[in-house]
Amino acid sequence: MTPATATPETLDCRGQRCPLPVIALAERLPELPVGAVLRVLADDPAAANDVPAWCRMRGQEYLGSPEPDAYDVRRSR
């Protein structure tokens, strides 16, 4: 593993039930510049499914889950 050049901006949605983490992601990501990465922390099991699904529906880039309960999304448009 190469160390990340910068810690991505983090959105802590732990303790929130779906769809709240996805709503928080949808609110926060447009505030970041295109190309920026947002790390969503969510422990609702549905997030593993719904964060990538949201990215697909919104044309944003899902980068994967670097660790349990964490999901990285890059603003691509």
Q: Within 10-69, which residues bind another protein (CB under 8 A)? A: 17-19, 22-23, 26-27, 44-46, 48-50, 52-54, 57
DSSP state of 58: H
**Best CA proximity match to 24, nearest among 34, 7, 9:** 9
CA angle 43, 66, 69 (to 5 degrees): 5
Closer residue to another protein, CB minimum distance, 14 or 17: 17
Q: Which of 16, 18, 24, 65 is the catalytic position?
A: 18
Closer residue to another protein, CB minimum distance, 4 or 53: 53
Q: Taking each helix axis from N to C terminus, what angle separates 47-58 and 20-28, rounded to the nearest 10 degrees?
A: 40
Q: Show the tokens assigned to 18.
A: 């779906």
By the criterion CB under 8 A, which residues form the site for another protein?
17-19, 22-23, 26-27, 44-46, 48-50, 52-54, 57
Active-site annotation, residues: 18
